[in-house]
Amino acid sequence: MTFKQIGIAALMMSASSMTLADIRVIDSQAGSWVRVTEQGQPAANARVSVNNKSNRGRVFTTNERGEVFIPLYTRHSQVLEYSVVN
């Protein structure tokens, strides 16, 4: 991997009932692009969080293409867990 972060994905997204969402993470030097789909379609307005110190408590919302950029400020390698929240 060219960047110092590892994304762990494939979590659950809940609407009125529990449904599975697919989440893909692409790392860059300044952060991660996250793409969320549900049943193969982009999940607009999906809320995404990540468990690193600088973004703790923050929630990011996907655009109409199901994508969101999450800035990451890390100095060391670490495992990051991305979650789609309701």
CA-based torsion, 51, 61, 86, 15: positive or negative: negative
Q: pLDDT grade, residue 30 (50/70/90)?
A: confident
pLDDT in tens, 39-64: 999 999 999 999 888 888 899 999 99
pLDDT in tens, 9-27: 333 333 333 467 899 999 8
β 5-8/78-85 pair status: parallel
Q: pLDDT grade, residue 86 (50/70/90)?
A: low
d(CA 55, CA 5): 14
